Structure 1
Amino acid sequence: MSTESTIHDSIDTAATTVGSLWPIHSFVTANPLTGFEDQPFSEAVTQAADLLGGRGYPSAETFRAALQHGQIDPEILDAELSEAGYENDPEVLLDRMATATDASKSDSDTATDRVDQVLTKWLSTFLDEGSAHWSMPNREAGFYTAFRGVAEHDSEIPDEGIITDLPETPTAAIEAVLAPYPVSQWVPVFEEQLTALPGWTGLIKQRADDGGVWQSAYPISLAGYLAARLALLDAVGADIAPSNDSIDPDPAAELAGAFLRAWEATYRGDLVETVAAESQSLADSDKSGCPDAQMVFCIDTRSEIIRRHIEAAGDYETHGYAGFFGIPMEYQGYDTDVSVNACPPILDPQHHVTDVPTDDDTQASHDRLSGIRETADEIIETVEANAATAYGYVETAGSGYGLALAARTLVPGRVHDLFDAVDDSVPDEHEFCDPLVHHQHTYAGDLPVGLTTDEKVEYAATAFDLMGWETFSRLVVFTGHASETTNNPYDSSLDCGACAGNPGGPNARVLAKICNDDEVRAALRDRGFEIPEDTVFLAGEHNTTTDEVELYDSDVPESHAADLDQLRADLATARENAAAERAESMGADTSSGVTETERRAADWAETRPEWGLAGNAGFVVGPRELTSDVDLGGRAFLHSYDWSTDADGEALEAILTGPMVVTQWINTQYYFSTVDNAVYGSGSKVTHNPVGNVGVYQGNGGDLMTGLPLQSLMAADDDPYHQPLRLSTVIHAPVDRVNGVLAEHPELADLLDNNWLSLTVVDPTQDHRAFEYERDLEWSPVSDLSEAEATEPFAPAAAND
């Protein structure tokens, strides 16, 4: 193998220790320790602490608060502690944990601060995505070449070592610096250098892997980054030999693990008990009739709240489905220059879909009125981003603009009403555009424009299969979701994770258009889906900040006007009740829920417009009836699934390999951002400094922050609103069917074997008993059994039996 190949292979191996980081304008939640998922959780957090310095378990104070609030069952805790060999009182053990953790803290400066300072300066200018007024010279040639060009002019770089005459290629530079070191040390060297600035390297990793317009225009690679870094380290005379000193393992880790397992078991026990009880009730019920409307929401935990209130407002049936609605597409909105990936990051887009105007008069009205609004928005952005400009602009614009700024600061709720009124006067894109769904026999880049008829039929059938649908109402609404917030760099983290941090409305519109296609509906009937002639599919979008649900109803016939009016009225009622619940969760007055949520959406000083997915802890896969009579507190992802309509298990396989993996990513990012916000999160929004439209600094420079801000997780200092628990998945299906999927997908079994999440199955074919996954495809019964039976592992029949 050539030296160049060895270098690239070593970089690829070392890069697994760094999680990918998406640009903040399309924030994607992902496990920051995804490269360690092939190891048991306890070992992974220890190794990550060694490389990244992050804590892996909640603090003693967090456990103490959970115990005091009744979130940890004392009996379960005693059993976990006893099994781990601890016999002391929990309070004594928590004091011991706190003392041990405090003793292990250290704040040592590194010798590479100068290198980090120079690198972050040039990385921010090179990786900028449209916000910088002056960009790095020669960016189109790639980062390493551009860096070679500026290095000799940078007074902060010593005129020493290889930097004085950088080779033309990154690999040649790397080879020159690594010459004194044996090949066996290359991977450890690269690991330490890649984890030195995990935010920037995570962004480079994602951008290089994903491609896209910015990478195509201004390419960067991990090899190019490492070449620049190693050359700078050589210039300052730093020793790059792999360190033999590792951070001492957290002396409280084993004890913290026992507390964490007890906390998780307490939550999981209540959830499993609910599902098991409702499973029996579901078997005894006689489900008949058709609801007034069926609404499909994203599996997002925030949907649980609005779904519950919609069902209480009338005869409605709600379902959960991944918010990209099964369409792996690249979407380009009306009058936009770039496309976005509107599908989960674990999938590659398969189609290019764009909005095409269909109504000239409405389009003209939109263009005229939206231009005024966009100008106002640009002024606001300028004022927000540049304090000096703000003073000058207000002085020039006069007292009228000063009053506008004062209103935005002092009465943001009124401003929201004003902007709402303006928005209502501007036609929305969906009022004069249709998504170009029909196959065009053309390409946008590498993707075909539109979908063939067979593809349309397959996507619609897959959606109905996964949700177990057999009946259809007069109105069927696919409801995407988006957030509404002002002056928030993390706004995309509140949008649809299944759409890669973008709004889900476009995906909902595409699936609705597909399902209204006469040719598609005829093919679906041939496949056993008896869709009535009077069923109309339409799209909508749930504003998760204000709980307003907007219906895209331009194609709904007059024959359904009364149905639509009633649905709108009931959605307004549901919104009032859901907004009151959200307001209470944020410590606000519940009597003014809608007003409060609108204020938070419009207030440019509001650090917490909504809680997002904070609190997420469970994932329930099964019929809605299992949870429809239960308040899950917005803590559970809910995916509709009916095992009785999935004889071959293909729908279940799709859910476990797709949505379950994505929810685990979301869950682990919230977990790690909570347990160590300084390393895995992004600190306080108050001191954020957005950089290059790709991320944020804490303060005026340094590494990109990689996770969620404190305000998305904490009710107050040292008082987490998000309970840092690993995901508890509960599936309503025969246990042997679930086991068959795990046997076919060892990567899923590895996640479970390594304790990154838990899995419990409520088996309707075995008297609705619950079985908890242990490891190596073995299960233990956990309900309605004697103590002796509950300790015996259960191995279901082989998948092909």
Structure 2
Amino acid sequence: MSLLLRVAVASAAHDIVPSWPLDSFIAVNPLAGSESRPFESARSLGPLTRQRTDYLADHKRGRIVLADLEAAVRLRIPELTGTVTIGETTLPAARLAALELELDQSHDTGASLRTSPLSRLDEITSRWVAAFLTPDPLWPMPHRQHGLYAAWRTLIRHDPSLAPGARRRLRGLPEGPDAGLGWALDQLGVEADDVQRVLALELHQLPGWASHIKWRAEKVGDIDLTSFLAVRFGTRHALQIPPSLTGPIPREHEPATELQRRAELLAGRLVGTHVGPVDISTVARVLAAHPTRDHLFTWQLAYELNYRSRLLSSLSTAHAPTERPGIQVVMCIDPRSEGARRHLETASTIETFGFAGFFGVPIRFVRHRGKGAVNSLPALLTPRHTVTEAPRDDATATRRVTAARRRDAVDRALHAGESGTATSFAFAETAGWFYGLTSVLRTFAPGLLARIREERLAGRALESSVTVADAFTLEERAVLAETSLRMMGMARFGRLVVLAGHGSDSRNNLYQSALDCGACGGNPGAANARAATVIFNDPGVRELLEARGISIPKDTVFIAAEHNTVTDAITLLDTHSLPASHRALADDFLRRQSTAADRLVRERARDLPGASPRHSTTRLRRRAHDWAEVYPELGLAGNAAMIIGPRELTRGVDLSRRVFLHSYVPEFDAHGTGLETVLTAPVVVAQWINHQYYFSSINPDLHGAGTKTVHNAIGTIGVLAGQGGDLRRGLPWQSVGVGTALLHEPLRLAVIVQAPLETIGQIISRNQVLRDLFDNEWITITARERRTDPWMHYTRYGWHTAPLPPAEGAQQ
């Protein structure tokens, strides 16, 4: 029975997507478990689109036009690609269906869902799990060392929040979570044939906790879903709440009377446009192929086609420059880098590239004499190489590390003093004046406090290098370098090449790691940039690359940097290792990046709530240090597309910081292996990010984290909205909206590639993850082989010419 129950739990959890804790927050598609099925089939799990009124509002302001609706109908319903005769006029059948969508009908075409009031059960379950998982609590949970179920079983009989009768029902609880879950299911009368379905439905009642526990079971091992479900069903039995046997139920197919009503409404409009007599049965046959339950998906696709077609028409057909650039900057594919690259390239001597922010060097990074390590690599990978720091001066390093540890000890003591039940008042009496001053500075002069902090940190900066040779063999380093260069298509080199990782610096922000580099495991990318720089500057690596057809000039020097996405400043790292011959070039880069950063900060101020381009750059940057600022930056809000191709496709084009940009030159990747890596790794990560923003916008109550103003942190593992309920997964509302309005446009990721269509098709066909994403329309891919070719849209049935905006003056 125990083994069968474990199998049932594993099967029930199949569609549950693991979610990382806050301190290493990784974007995920909350519905990733459904990617093997068509996008629309996930409607049973909740809304997948906005409401009809939102799309109608977009239509009225021109964000969606009739041509978009018609193109969406043709793509979604191939049988409506022909024409029909209505009265004395022949129309495309798709346009007839699209015309109906323009009618402002009052009925709701969304899914009708049934839910049950389980707030009491959710609150109790959440309280026990939170108590067990809270790291280093001042009042630790008794019996925690024995596991969640054992601790709960021992303590629940003394829980005063449960009525005496409820506690008595739990007297028969057996030992062990497997036996406890089986016993609770028996007490609740769940039949053996229904167990897996009941368990699956239960996991979706608290998807936040279920997702995190699934991650924790794999990475930590102190809790699993069997224990969680044993506690959950045991509490159900205590409260006498029967388990759910059915999930959300979508509305049934529309009856014939509804189809007749729709046809008559549209016929009335057509008569008003002087098409002559209208055969309602002809209209009804067209509309029958496009039932009302599908209307919102057509609206969503039209919304996406409008953006995608405008994006495609904006791309350049320029030739690649031939002169050697003085400075090259490689930045993360993150959309926030798009603005920085655009402003840097106003200087003709600077050329930029886009590449995943870990620069192809997956590492586990340990600072000099550090007590912990950081897994700075994509979540798809497992760390196998540990990189450490080697200080230039051991004596100086020892003094600074010792001082840093003393400060950490003081900080921990102060935190315990101000948080402890018995010590907080005494702490306030003795240290209140100091913290009062600090609070005043934080509130009224955050910029001053930040400058003091930065000056102290600058004075303690440790000059060091990273020990790459100890982590990778020479051959491994050469392979990493060759792979990175071929993937991004870097065939020529300037005298100075800046590898700029990125991170975000803000105060009092639980979602700090969500703003850092996703390719670096939710960490800043400085460590990876430093490691990659050492590899590219290595003479031994260059010698091996030369033998493989990649020649890096002797006067080319790589240097690491970090882009702060809040202030947009790019700081050079390890400048002590820069040769004197390149110092002037580095100084020139710093001047140019400072100008570019100021321009970008003002540009971003147009979209940032509470900011204005009229404000000084000092005032705009001060927001990063304000502990009350809930919008230090907008992160990846607005992300909508990923472009994989040479820079001349996008250089000089304002993409509004909405596009992931991955450099790629097909001629440098004869066998398509680089493109396959891009499609199966960076594209997958980009769609995780895209879908996290999408669903946090579409369904913020279920898939988002709610407003920051009521967040209650559970250590570093996550947040609750208030005092109980589910662990909130996804993004806070301040990442996607302001007030009641959305800041983020929820669009499924549009992947745009310049590469041979045959190569792309072969890559998709042999990778199941790509077939799921593209064939099932979770994301889309549009491509062309050469800059003079038309753009082609991929479908499971083949390539088709991609819709582009109507010519100026054409009928909309």
**TM-score, normalising length from structure 1?**
0.87
Partners of 1:631 and 1:380 in 2: how far apart?
Answer: 48
Please name the residue that 1:319 is paired with. 353
Work out which of the two has the higher radius of gyration on C-alpha atoms and give 1 or 2: 2
Among 759, 765, 785, the residue aligned to 1:763: 785
Q: Report the counterpart of residue 142 of structure 1 in structure 2.
A: 147
TM-superposed CA distance for 1:62, in Å, is 3.4
Contact 1:163 1:235 in 2 (8 A): yes
Aligned residues: 745
Gaps of 5+ in 2: 74-92, 255-291, 808-812
Select the residue among 254, 259, 272 that pairs with 2:312.
272
Tell me the SS of whatever aligns to 2:781: strand
Does the C-alpha gap of structure 1 residues 39 and 784 become closer, same or farther in structure 2, counting only changes over 3 Å?
Answer: closer
- Structure 1: tracts of 5 or more residues without a match: 50-54, 440-449, 788-801
Give the letter aligned to residue 109 of structure 1.
P
* Alignment of 1:612 onto 2:635: yes
Mapped to 1, the partners of 2:571 and 2:407 lie a distance apart of: 20
Partner of residue 181, structure 2: 174
Structure 2: how far apart are the matches of 1:487 and 1:389?
23
1:713: Cα distance to partner? 0.8
Query: How far off its partner does 1:92 sit?
Result: 4.0
Structure 2 residue aligned with 1:435, among 442, 454, 466? 466
Deviation, 1:383, is 10
The one-letter code matched in structure 2 to 1:175 is G
Alignment of structure 1 residues 358-507 onto 2, 5 Å = 358-364=392-398, 366-367=400-401, 370=404, 395-397=429-431, 399=433, 401-427=435-461, 431-439=462-470, 450-507=471-528
Quote how far apart the aligned CAs of 1:380 are: 9.0
Q: Does 1:121 align with 2:127?
A: yes
CA distance in 1 between counterparts of 2:433 and 2:175 reads: 57
Say if 2:71 and 2:803, in contact at 8 Å, map to a contact too.
no
Show the counterpart of 2:548. 527
Q: Distance in 2 between matches of 1:351 and 1:738?
A: 32
Give yes or no for contact 1:324–1:498 (8 Å, CA) kept in 2.
yes
Q: Quick check: 1:185 aligned with 2:185?
A: no
- TM-superposed CA distance for 1:586, in Å, is 1.0
User: Superposition pairs for residues 327-342 of structure 1, below 5 Å?
Assistant: 327-342=361-376
AA aligned opposite 1:626:
L
Query: Structure 2 vs 1, CA of residues 143 and 391 (structure 1 numbering), >3 Å: closer, same or farther?
Result: closer
Partner of 1:793: none
2:654 is paired with a residue whose SS is coil
What is the aligned partner in structure 1 of residue 203 from structure 2?
A: 194
1:257 equivalent among 297, 318, 322: 297
- Separation (CA, whole Å) in 2 of partners of 1:583 and 1:372: 40
Q: 1:223 matched to which residue of 2?
A: 226
> Is the 2:563–2:569 contact (alpha carbons within 8 Å) kept by the matching residues of 1?
yes
For residue 37 of structure 1, the aligned residue among 32, 35, 38 is 35
2:625 aligned to which of 574, 592, 602? 602
Partner of 1:204: 213
Any idea what SS the aligned residue of 1:164 has? coil
With over 3 angstroms needed to count, the CA separation of the structure-2 counterparts of 1:183 and 1:105, relative to structure 1, is: closer
1:234 is displaced (CA, Å) by 2.2
> What is residue 96 of structure 1 aligned with on the other side?
106
- Provide the secondary structure at the position in 1 that maps to 2:559: strand
Alignment of 1:227-242 (within 5 A): 227-240=230-243, 242=245
Whole-angstrom CA distance in 2 between matches of 1:24 and 1:614: 19
Which of 83, 95, 98 is matched with 2:94 structurally?
Answer: 83
Task: Give the CA RMSD over aligned residues.
Answer: 2.9
Which residue of 52, 63, 81 corresponds with 1:71? 63
User: Which residue is 2:257 aligned to?
Assistant: none
Distance 1:514 1:354 in 2: 14
Deviating more after overlay: 632-641 vs 237-246: 237-246
- Classify 1:245/1:261 alpha carbon distance in 2 versus 1 (closer, same or farther; 3 Å): closer
Map Cα deviations across residues 245-276 of structure 1 (whole Å, 9 max, x no partner): 7354799752221211111001111222233x
Query: Equivalent residue for 1:681?
Result: 704
The aligned residue for residue 656 of structure 1 is 679
Paired residue type of 1:96: S
Q: What's the CA shift for 1:773?
A: 0.6
Equivalent AA in structure 2 for residue 166 of structure 1? L
Contact 2:780 2:794 in 1 (8 A): yes
CA contact (8 A) 1:742 1:749 kept: yes
Indicate the residue corresponding to 2:265 in structure 1.
none
Change (3 A) 1:723 1:558: same
Could you give the per-residue CA deviations for residues 645-682 of structure 1, whole angstroms, max 9, x where no partner exists? Answer: 11111000000100111111110110000011111101
2:538 paired with 1:517: yes
Structure 1 position 114, deviation (Å): 3.8
Report the secondary structure of 1:83's partner residue.
helix
Q: Which amino acid aligns with 1:490?
A: Y
Question: 3-state SS of the aligned residue for 2:800?
Answer: strand
**Residues 273 and 738 (structure 1), Cα distance of their counterparts in 2 relative to 1, 3 Å cut:** same
Q: Could you tell me whether the CA contact under 8 Å between 1:685 and 1:711 is conserved in 2?
A: yes
Looking at structure 1, the residues matched to 59 and 389 of structure 2 have their Cα atoms a distance apart, in angstroms, of: 52
Residues 16 and 66 (structure 1 numbering): CA distance in 2 closer, same or farther, change over 3 Å? farther
In 2, the alpha carbon distance for the partners of 1:358 and 1:147 equals: 53
CA distance 1:467–1:514, shift in 2 (3 Å): same
Give the equivalent residue in structure 2 for 1:798.
Answer: none
Instruction: For 2:32 and 2:61, locate their aligned partners in 1 and report how far apart those are by CA, in whole Å.
Output: 32
Asked if 2 retains the 8 angstrom alpha-carbon contact of 1:181 and 1:241, the reply is no
Aligned counterpart, 1:671: 694
Aligned sequence identity (%): 36
Q: Which residue of 2 aligns with 1:724?
A: 746
The reply on whether 1:782 has 2:793 as its aligned counterpart is no
Is the 2:69–2:98 Cα contact (8 Å) retained in structure 1? no
Residues 460-502 of structure 1: per-residue CA shift (max 9 Å, x gap): 1110010112112221121111001111111111011111211
Aligned to 2:604: 582
Structure 2 CA distance for aligned equivalents of residues 461 and 548 of structure 1: 29
Structure 1 position 573, deviation (Å):
1.0
SS of equivalent to 1:338: coil
Hey, what's the Cα distance between the residues in 2 that align with 1:250 and 1:693?
46
Aligned position for 1:795: none
Summarize the Cα distance change of 1:384–1:527 in structure 2 as closer, same or farther, 3 Å threshold: farther
In the alignment, is the contact (CA less than 8 A) between 1:516 and 1:536 conserved in 2?
A: yes
Give me the whole-angstrom Cα distance separating, in 1, the residues matched to 2:520 and 2:168.
Answer: 47
Tell me how far 1:59 sits from its aligned partner: 2.6
Match of residue 546, structure 1, among 561, 567, 587: 567
Give the aligned residue type for 2:176.
T
Answer whether contact 1:485 1:491 (CA < 8 A) is retained.
yes
Instruction: Describe the shift of the 1:175–1:433 C-alpha distance in structure 2 as closer, same or farther (beyond 3 A).
Output: same
In structure 2, how many angstroms separate the alpha carbons of the residues matched to 1:545 and 1:718?
Answer: 24
Tell me: CA distance 1:387–1:139, structure 2 relative to 1, closer, same or farther (3 Å): closer
**Taking structure 1 as reference, are residues 185 and 290 closer, same or farther at Cα in structure 2, changes over 3 Å only?**
same
2:318–2:648 contact (8 Å) kept in structure 1:
no
Secondary structure of 2:606 counterpart? helix
Aligned to 1:56: 48
> Alignment partner for residue 303 of structure 1, among 337, 341, 344?
337
Q: 1:701 to 1:339 in 2, by over 3 A?
A: same
- TM-score for both structures, normalised by structure 2: 0.86
> CA offset at residue 733 of structure 1?
0.3
Please give the alpha-carbon distance, in whole angstroms, between the structure 1 residues aligned to 2:552 and 2:182: 65
Shift of 1:746: 2.7
Q: Is the 8 A contact 1:62 1:720 kept in 2?
A: no
CA deviation after TM superposition for structure 1 residue 774, in Å: 1.4
